[in-house]
Homo-oligomer: A and B are copies of this chain.
Amino acid sequence: MARKATIKDVSVAANVSVTTVSRYLNGSMRLPPETKRRIEDAVSTLRYTPNPLARSLSRGRSETIGLVIPEIANPFFAQLAASVEEAAVRLGYGVLLCVTLNNVDREIDYIRRIENKHVDGVLFSTNHPDDGRLLAALKDVPCFVLVDEDIAGSDFPGVFAENREGAVAATRHIVEAGHRKIAMLSGPKTLLSAEERRQGFHEAIAAAGPGHEAVAVFDCAYTVEAGEAAAEQLLQRYPETTAIFTGSDELFLGMLKTFRRQGIRIGPDISVVTCDDVEPLTLFEPPITALRQDLPKMGTSALEMLIGEITRGPRLPRQIRVPMELVRRQSVRAPRRRMRLK
């Protein structure tokens, strides 16, 4: 490949100054048609495209955002990433992807990239409790927006689900089907989503009146394995349970494994509502009722909020809450008359 053409080459070929080329190409200058033509000819002959690195360095912004997420193979984050990327492209930004696996060093590395101007801002999702290092690294960092989970003690702008309200709706749905002994496989105690959903769960059961009981609430990691293990314990220790609310698709999938192994059928034997709805839950038998996260909206709002910070400067710390939707399918039924799981 021949040496890449620069703006200088264009200016020579078009017989104008680089200043003029730059201004024209950036749309801040109107030119006589003749000059215009010369520049455009030069651009296309030389196949000129501006060097984004040079442009970013001199403008002081890179038109790139960092998307920092714990995983990408996980469909939840994959869908979130999809909506973020789509919105970013629409607004003229590139997306630098950083998968942290909840490694704090990687997280901090990307926070630094805001300061050293590698990215104009960061959309950040973290899944682990902060030991303080994160909060420290975040001191005075601008253009930083949280999505999905909060960082305890911080007041960064962010976009989160209406977890409590969602959990209330899900639990109420279970109650209305006639269940009284209800359990929850919840997420890690330290996470906003888990905490708020748990709260909504308890609230709805309390509101359901006497006779209704939160049989057990398990604090699990949001993983298939944790769901599997918690379900085993649940079956063993709380066989009176007739319905379960799981805090994520992974927990549900894990629970399902245990159910399969023990011959327990969702629907006839036990009712289930799960959170997220990113797995193909319609295709299970029966289709699974879910409290759906509106990932497209969350990703888009968060990205737009971030671009707002970047282009219009910091606003008042502000949080957007995105409603969750209860998608009724067929995994919640009336409890069996004489319920005993085992």
Q: Which chain A residues (267-313) contact chain B, with CB distance < 8 Å?
A: 279-280, 283-285
Q: Which chain A residues (93-138) contact chain B, with CB distance < 8 Å?
A: 94-99, 106, 112-113, 115-118
A57 interfacial by beta-carbon distance below 8 Å: yes
By the criterion CB–CB under 8 Å, are B62 and A53 in contact? yes
Q: How many copies does the complex hold?
A: 2
By the criterion CB–CB under 8 Å, are A72 and B64 in contact? no
Known contacts A4-B116, A53-B57, A115-B49; A81 and B75 CB within 8 A of each other:
no
A82 interfacial by beta-carbon distance below 8 Å: yes
By the criterion CB–CB under 8 Å, are B62 and A73 in contact? no
A67 interfacial by beta-carbon distance below 8 Å: yes
Question: In the assembled complex, how far is the CB of residue A117 from the closest CB belonging to chain B, in whole angstroms?
Answer: 6
A78 interfacial by beta-carbon distance below 8 Å: yes
Number of interface residues of A (CB under 8 A): 51
By the criterion CB–CB under 8 Å, are A75 and B75 in contact? yes
A29 interfacial by beta-carbon distance below 8 Å: no
Q: CA separation between A144 and B117, bound complex, in Å?
A: 27
Residues in chain B near residue A56, CB distance under 8 A = 53
By the criterion CB–CB under 8 Å, are B142 and A97 in contact? no
- In the complex, which residue of chain B has the Cβ closest to the Cβ of A85? B99
By the criterion CB–CB under 8 Å, are A97 and B73 in contact? no
Q: CA separation between A82 and B101, bound complex, in Å?
A: 10
A50 interfacial by beta-carbon distance below 8 Å: yes
By the criterion CB–CB under 8 Å, are B96 and A97 in contact? yes
A1 interfacial by beta-carbon distance below 8 Å: yes
Sample 15 A-B pairs with CB under 8 A, ordered by A number.
A1-B115, A4-B115, A49-B115, A49-B116, A51-B57, A52-B113, A53-B62, A72-B81, A72-B85, A73-B79, A81-B97, A86-B99, A94-B98, A253-B283, A284-B284
**Which 8 residue pairs of A and B lie closest in terms of their CB atoms, listed nearest first?**
A78-B78, A73-B82, A97-B97, A52-B118, A49-B116, A53-B57, A73-B79, A72-B82
